[in-house]
Each structure stands twice: as structure tokens, then as C-alpha cells.
Amino acid sequence: MTTLKDIAKAAGVSHATVSRVVNNGPKVGPVMREKIHKLIKEMGYRPNANARALVTQKSTTIGVVIPDVADPFFATLANGIDKVSRQHNMQLLISTGKLSAESEREAINLLLERRCETIVIHSKKIADDELIELFKANPHFVLIDRYIAEIKDKCVWLDNKEGGKIAARHLLSLKHRQLACITSSYEIEDPKLRLTGFVEELAKANITLDSQRVVSAEPTLQGGEIATQKLLASGQAFSAIFVYNDAMAIGAISTLEDNGYSVPNDVSIIGFDDVLLARYSRPKLTTLQYPIDLMAQNAAQIALHIGHEQSISIDTLKFIPQLIKRESTSTYF
Amino acid sequence: MTTLKDIAKAAGVSHATVSRVVNNGPKVGPVMREKIHKLIKEMGYRPNANARALVTQKSTTIGVVIPDVADPFFATLANGIDKVSRQHNMQLLISTGKLSAESEREAINLLLERRCETIVIHSKKIADDELIELFKANPHFVLIDRYIAEIKDKCVWLDNKEGGKIAARHLLSLKHRQLACITSSYEIEDPKLRLTGFVEELAKANITLDSQRVVSAEPTLQGGEIATQKLLASGQAFSAIFVYNDAMAIGAISTLEDNGYSVPNDVSIIGFDDVLLARYSRPKLTTLQYPIDLMAQNAAQIALHIGHEQSISIDTLKFIPQLIKRESTSTYF
DNA sequence: GTGAAAGCGCTAACAT
DNA sequence: ATGTTAGCGCTTTCAC
């Protein structure tokens, strides 16, 4: 690869001069500047980002830790970060940490070795304490989809509990009284919080959700099918189901219809996330919108600005899911 | 950040020795090795990947150029590359090149500046000639989803034309004779190739597809709806539609049913790609499988191995879409 | 088994 | 307006 020195030699100047024109620095004569530009083009010179990062002590890379690139939810998250990154001439370095503390740690470490000081982390498995320590040491870290009080000014999060409440209120307003819940079997906080919110709100209406009516499975389409089969097999009666996410909800609809139940005529279904799928499904899915794209953009902005002028108001860090009423829920008769 | 020198000072040795233990090099006494390991842990040392890349002249990064991270198709592509990358201890650097020659070029350049010699490129807009030149200069580049004869050993591609033929054969075998086609308005080769294959195969059965029966729109759900409306408005009769992709196909089904046509009873629909959506649409979508995950893994493998031992057989680089028969097509009566 | 020294490609302070 | 120099953090010969 062509280097600064090569260009310098060809131009008959020192490499410092070439560096100046590459960086649009001052103190270079217009003639020389022109000549060097020409040479750079001819010889196909590209600055070495590694060398640059080494000497300037800053990288033009923003790191992202997510469990999986293929999952539409995380893909959207990454895309949100990408959008604001390119505005700041930063590039995305994705490090996948498959839902285990060990691999999340590993993913962060790899990013740290790359010296990308700016990192947006989606971590569900690393313990609070460890994360707190990590964030104290790295001022440009931002945590997304998780709230830890001690570092709350670095957390961009969704109020899952409130989401559960909103779902409950919606179903109650449609006169449903026999409710069921399909939740995720993953050992993370989100399903618990959503369920808690749901149950609390039902309690206000004097409805208790007995444990027989709560089934769990993997948070996937297949998981939704399996969970629904379990629910059906249990013989419980229900007119509406609050489902952990859209993928499971669509699996649930599929199984329900295969068993002769019509959605929403016989059973109302409400999902969570509002992924693309929700709009494409038939019936179109009523769900709670998880504004992950917006949240990711927000997180990136905070990560890039922290330490700079702006002070961020905590209010902008907490997001509330919004009810998207479509076709999968209807009034109970 | 702690550096090699810091560790060296603390251990009372030269930084060369520390470097040796970090890299598991030979010629270090077991006592010293142990002591240094301890120090590394205590002081939280992480090697600087930039410095390393600079001196070794190789990066541990694999670059990916795709138009968009959020699109499920490209997310799956990226994920395929990620899978094999981590097996080789390489990390994903994603550079998004939004379907314009200029931004594709820019994306590649950014990767080049990072000195990631290994790059998998999805480019639809840069001209053949330019790509050929680029690939000659960079032996570790791999082109995905596009075939250029001059660099055919670097192309991992899908036979789109054959896909069109398979679709035609399927529809013909179901006795359909009045065919229509919904294609993409994007100025790339894929839609043309699919259409060409489709038309050629019909011609063998002495069926011509007049231009009135071919409508185009954006390759999205909404595009599918719009295209279908156009088709309906044209007053043409048809019993089956070959649709550019699954998203459009689902839009088409939606519009068809809204207009009182049942799928597949009145109209058969065949899509392309076999995205997750296809399995969960109602009716479940008959489609042509685009094995992008496999193709991406393949591409990554080739990119990482080229110049090494294995010589790749060209046969493994061409993929044929596979017919996935589901519920959206049926025999014409 | 360990150290000294050179150098990867670049930026930036200091000369001239 | 341009050159000289030092050094970022590391690997890697070559000496000892």
C-alpha cells in the first residue's frame, strides 16, 4: 500500500507536508497542495486508519454489542446507531455477545482492544455491579435496554412494566376478563417486568391471573406455537392473551387458527415490539411499540456527546411503549 | 490505558518480554511468565489492536459492505459472515453503502483505510469494470449476490434467471396459462434476470407475457400493494402472479383479498427469497428460497482462505434457488 | 531466557 | 511555506 512517505518522495517534499494536505491543514502553498492531491489520486493513496488511531489516541469507530445481527430487533438497533454514526463520520464495529455473561464480556473486551472509546452496549447477562464498574471507567459507554440506578445517566431504556400495564388496560377496556399470558423463558428481566405490570394492573380491576394461565417458551415463532399448545392443553378458558413479543404472538395466532379459533373473534392477541412482521401478519397485530430505532439513535448521540457541551436530561432516556391498535384485538361479547 | 511498558516497568523487565508472554511466545521463564500474567490481570491490560495491526500489517477485522443493516435480508447476510468470522477470531466491520455507486465506493474505501484486507462486498451499483479492477488489486475481496465473468472465482451468486424459470415451470405445471408478473422498479440486474428467465420458460410453452401484464413498484410491502392495484386497474385477466420478492407478494395477497379475490383459489402467488415472513403469512407463501445465510458463510470462508491452501471449486459459488411449495399456489381449474 | 533497538504509518510540536 | 523530530504501542530480529 502506498504510504505518506511514498507520496512525499514522489513530490519531493517531506512527509509532514503531505500529512498537512491530507488533513486539510494550513501552511501549504497552493501549488504544492495541488501537486500532492494529484499524486495521491494517481498513486491511490489511502491513509492508514490504524496508524492514525495510534497517534491521535482516538478511533473513528463506534462499537456496538448486541447478541445477534440477524434478529430484526437488533438489526434495527444497529441501524439506528449506524444512522447517527455516519453523520459523525464514525463506523460501526459490531461485536456479538450471545446472551451469556462470558460472551458479552468478551465482546466488550474486543471493542476495548480496538480502542473505540464510544460503545453502545446491549447486555442482559453481566451483573449490575460489574457493569457499574465498567461504566465508571469508560465515560463514553452507553447502556441500552436496561436500567441501572447507579448509572442512570448512561441508560437508554424502555419501561417494560408500564408496557404490561398498558396491555392490561387495553384488554380490560375491551371487556376481556379471562386473560392469559405467554411469556419468555429467557432468564432476563424484561419478561418479569412486563408480567408484573400486567398483573398489577389487572389487580386494580380485581382480576387475578392464576399461574395456570401463564405459560412460557422461547421468545420465537416456534416458542409462541408451543406455548399456545400448552395453554390449549391446560383446558383453561381465556378470551385474550398478552404475548411477550410479536414473533411469539404470530406463532400463537397460527396455532390458535389451526385449532379452530379465530383471532380476534374468539381470542384477542396483543404482542410487544411492533416489528415489521406485526404489520404484515394477518390479522394485523395489535402490539406495543418498542421504539428501538429512536432509542438507538438516542444512545448513539449520547455516547458521542458525553463529555462535550450538552448535558442530557434524564427524561429523554426513558421510553414508554405505545399501543398500536390493529386487528388482532377486539371487544369481548 | 495500561500499556506493555507499564507492565514491563511493574515487572522489572523489558517490554519485549511482556510482549512474548502476551503472545504466548517461547523463551520466557515460567516464573516470569506467571508474574507477568498476574500483573496483566491486576492492571487491566488490553493489547492495543491498532498498534498491533500497524506493526504486523494485518487486521483481525473482516469488512462487509451492504446497503442497510436493518433489512432482514442483509442482516441475515451479515450474520452468516459473522458466524464464520468468529471461528477465525475476526470481527465484523460493517460499512453501509446505500445503493448508489458513490456510497458503495465510499464504504469500500473506509474499509480499505482500516486495512481490513478481507472484505465481502454486496454491490449492485458500481460498474463491472471498476469492480474488476478493484478485485484484481485486492485478492481477499469477495463479491456476493452478483456475477461478473472476469472475476468469477470471487463471486458467490444466485442464479436469478434460473429462479424465474423454476417459477414459470411451477405455475405451468399447475395449469396456469394467464400469467402476470410484479417486478421491482429498482435499477439493478436481479429483477431483469428473474423476469427474463420467467419469460423464456413461458415461451417454451408458447405463452407470451405481454407488457401490460408486467407491473413494477418498489420492492416492499407497499410496493406490492400498489403494483397489484395497477394490475387490477388494467383489466387484464390472470390466474397467477410471479412476484419479485416475498414482501411484495404479501402486499399483493393483501390487496387481492381486499378486492374480493381469494389466494390461491382465484389467484396463485409465488414469491422470492423465502424470508421468515413467508412461513407465517396467511396463506403461507409459496416461494423460491434464496439461501443467503449459506451464501454469506461461503463468501466469508472464501475470503478468509484465498491465497491459502484450499482452491475453491467454482461449482460451490453458484447457488440455485429452491422451490418451497406452500399454500399460496394451487392448480388452475 | 532476556534486553536493546528498529520500525510499522502517521500526527504534531518545534525549527527554520 | 516546509522540514525535522519525537513518539503513539506494539512485534520482531539480533545480541548477549
**Mean pLDDT of the region B285-294:** 97
Facing B54 at nearest CB: one of A50, A112, A257: A50
Within window 38-67 on B, which residues have Cβ closer than 7 Å to strand D?
A: 45, 47-48, 51-52, 54-56
Which residues of chain A lie closer than 8 angstroms to B47, CB-CB? 113
Domains B61-158 and B160-290 belong to one CATH topology: yes
pLDDT at position B271: 98
Rounded to an integer, the average pLDDT of A305-331 is: 80
Phi and psi of B208, rounded to 5°? Answer: -110, 140
The backbone torsions φ and ψ at residue B103, rounded to the nearest 5 degrees and listed phi first, read -80, -25
Nucleotides of C under 7 A from a protein CB: 1-5, 7-13
> Which residue of A lies nearest to B46 if distances are taken between CA atoms?
A113
Q: What is the mean pLDDT of residues A299-328?
A: 81
Q: In whole angstroms, what is the distance from residue A56 CA to residue A19 CA? A: 13
Residue B315 has pLDDT above 50, yes or no: yes
| pLDDT at residue A72 is higher than 50 | yes
Confidence of residue B311 (pLDDT cuts 50, 70, 90): low
So what's the pLDDT on residue B300? Answer: 96
Q: CA B288 to CA B272: how far, in whole Å?
A: 5
| C-alpha atoms less than 13 angstroms from C-alpha of A51 in its C-beta half-sphere | 12
pLDDT at position A314: 58
CA gyration radius, chain A: 26
Whether residue A65 contacts residue A124, with contact meaning beta carbons closer than 8 Å, is answered with no
DSSP state of B150: G
pLDDT at B313: 61
Query: What is d(CA A189, CA A234) in angstroms, rounded to the nearest whole number?
Result: 26
Contact A95/B93, CB-based, under 8 Å? Answer: no
Contact (Cβ atoms closer than 8 angstroms) between residue A72 and residue A275: yes
- Taking the CA of residue A311 and the C1' sugar atom of nucleotide D9, their distance in angstroms comes to 34
- The residue among B161 and A279 whose pLDDT is bigger is B161
- Of A305 and A324, the one with more pLDDT: A324
Q: Give the confidence band of B310 by pLDDT, cuts at 50, 70, 90.
A: low
Confidence of residue A311 (pLDDT cuts 50, 70, 90): low
Q: Does the beta carbon of B55 lie under 8 angstroms from any beta carbon of chain A?
A: no
Closest alpha carbon within chain A to B103? A86
Who among B50, B82, B247 is closest to A50 (CB)? Answer: B50
Q: What is the pLDDT of residues A192-240, one digit of tens each?
A: 999 999 999 999 999 999 999 999 999 999 999 999 999 999 999 999 9
- Determine whether the interchain pair B280/A281 forms a contact, defined as Cβ–Cβ distance below 8 Å: yes
- The pLDDT value recorded for residue B26 is 82
CATH code of domain A4-47: 1.10.260.40
Q: What percent of chain B has pLDDT over 70?
A: 97
Residue B269, C-beta contacts closer than 8 angstroms, at least 6 positions apart: B240, B241, B243, B249, B252, B253, B256, B263, B285, B286, B328, B329
Q: Given this model, what pLDDT does residue B218 score?
A: 96
Question: What pTM was computed for the model?
Answer: 0.92
**pLDDT exceeding 90 applies to what percent of chain B?**
88
Check whether B220 has a pLDDT greater than 50.
yes
In whole angstroms, what is the distance from residue A273 CA to residue A291 CA? 8
**Mutation target among A50, A86, A281 for the B interface, most CBs of B within 10 A:** A50
Name the pairing type of β-strands B155-158 and B179-184.
Answer: unpaired
User: How much is the pLDDT for A309?
Assistant: 47
- B112 interfacial to chain A (CB closer than 8 Å): yes
* Strand C contacted by A60 CB (< 7 A): no
Per-residue pLDDT band for A97 (boundaries 50, 70, 90) equals: confident
Give CB contacts under 8 A, 24+ apart, made by A165-169: A165/A197, A165/A198, A165/A200, A165/A201, A166/A197, A166/A288, A166/A321, A166/A323, A167/A194, A167/A197, A167/A198, A167/A242, A167/A270, A167/A272, A167/A288, A167/A323, A168/A197, A168/A198, A168/A199, A168/A200, A168/A201, A168/A202, A168/A242, A169/A201
- Is pLDDT at A316 greater than 80 in this prediction? no
Mean pLDDT of B238-259: 95
A54 CA vs C13 C1’ separation (Å): 17
Nearest nucleotide (CA of B4 to C1'): D9
Question: Would you call A1 and B276 a contact, using CB atoms and an 8 Å cutoff?
Answer: no
Grid cell digits, residue A134: 465498567
Residue at shortest CA–C1' distance from D9: B51
Which phi and psi angles does B289 have, rounded to 5°? -75, 125
Res. B98 pLDDT band, cuts 50 70 90: confident
Inter-residue contact B293 to B300 (CB < 8 Å):
no
pLDDT over 80 (residue B307): no
- pLDDT value of position B314: 58
Residue carrying the nine cell digits 396491555: A167
CA–CA dist B134, A187 (Å, integer): 47
What integer is the mean pLDDT of B82-94?
Answer: 94
Q: What is the pLDDT of residue B97?
A: 87
Pick the CATH number of B61-158 from 3.10.580.10, 3.40.50.2300, 3.40.1350.10, 3.40.50.300: 3.40.50.2300
Average pLDDT of the segment spanning A174-190? 96
Burial class (CB within 10 angstroms; exposed 0-12, middle 13-18, buried 19+) of B331:
exposed
Give the closest of B109, B115, B277 to A277, CB-based.
Answer: B277
Q: Is the CB of B20 under 7 A from strand D?
A: yes
CB contact under 8 A, A50 and B115: yes
Per-domain residue ranges for chain B?
Answer: 4-47, 61-158, 160-290
B20 touches strand C (CB under 7 A): yes
Nearest by CB to A91, from B68, B72, B93: name it.
Answer: B93
Architecture of domain B160-290: 3-Layer(aba) Sandwich (3.40)
From the Cβ of A313, is strand C under 7 Å away? Answer: no
Question: Cβ of A70 and B49 within 8 Å?
Answer: no
Residues from chain B contacting residue A250 (CB–CB below 8 Å) = 280
Question: Degrees (nearest 5) of the Cα angle A242, A244, A245?
Answer: 110
pLDDT of A138 > 60? The answer is yes
Q: Specify the pLDDT at position A313.
A: 61
Question: What nine digits make up the cell of A318?
Answer: 426513558
Strand C-proximal residues of A, range 252-291, CB below 7 A, are: none
pLDDT classification of A249: cutoffs 50, 70, 90: very high
